[in-house]
C-alpha cells in the first residue's frame, strides 16, 4: 500500500535500523522503544492486522514467529514478550501487521 508507513519502511523510502531481513519479512528497532530491547517484525506484504490473517497468508505470520525465535536467540534474549495490537482500541497505530518484541525489563500482567 503506497501510503502505509511500514510498506514505506519495507521499500526503504523511510529509513529504519534493521535487525533482520529476508524475502518475506523485516525486523527493525522501534523508533520509540518501550523496553531496553524493542523491535518489530513485519511481513513485507501488506496485511492490515492479526484480524486479516487467513488461510492464504497465515504462512507469513508463522514465518514472522520463526524470525522472532531466531533474532531473540541471536541477541541473547531468552525472556521476552510478543505483542500485536489489533485495532485502535487495542492500541494499533500503524495498520500493517507487526509483532512487537520486548525484552530486557520486568513485564507486568495484565498489560495496560
Ligand atoms: P502499534 O502502535 O501499531 O502497535 O505499533 C506501531 C509502532 O511503530 C509503535 O511502537 C511506534 O513507536 C513504531 N513506529 C512508528 N513510526 C515508526 C517509524 O517511522 N520507524 C520505526 N522504527 N518505528 C515506528
Ligand atoms: Zn503496509
Residue 14 Cβ contacting ligand 1 at under 6 Å:
yes
- For residues 105 and 57, the answer to whether their CB atoms sit within 8 Å is no
Residue 30 Cβ contacting ligand 1 at under 6 Å:
yes
pLDDT tens-digit map of 54-112 = 999 999 999 999 999 999 999 999 999 999 999 999 999 999 999 999 999 999 999 98
Tell me if residue 98 is catalytic. Answer: yes
- For residues 20 and 27, the answer to whether their CB atoms sit within 8 Å is yes
pTM of the model: 0.98
- Torsion angle defined by CA atoms of residues 41, 42, 43 and 48, in that order, rounded to the nearest 10 degrees: 140
- Distance (angstroms) between ligand 1 centre and the Cα of 109 equals 22
Amino acid at each position: 500500500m503506497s501510503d502505509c508507513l511500514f510498506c514505506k519502511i519495507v521499500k526503504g523510502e523511510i529509513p529504519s535500523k534493521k535487525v533482520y531481513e529476508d524475502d518475506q519479512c523485516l525486523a527493525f528497532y522501534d523508533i520509540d522503544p518501550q523496553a531496553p530491547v524493542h523491535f518489530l517484525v513485519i511481513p513485507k506484504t501488506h496485511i492490515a492486522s492479526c484480524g486479516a490473517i487467513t488461510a492464504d497468508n497465515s504462512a507469513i505470520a508463522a514465518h514472522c514467529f520463526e524470525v522472532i525465535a531466531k533474532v531473540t536467540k541471536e541477541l541473547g534474549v531468552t525472556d521476552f514478550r510478543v505483542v500485536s495490537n489489533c485495532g485502535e482500541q487495542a492500541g494499533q497505530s500503524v495498520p500493517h501487521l507487526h509483532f512487537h518484541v520486548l525484552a530486557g525489563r520486568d513485564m507486568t500482567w495484565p498489560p495496560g
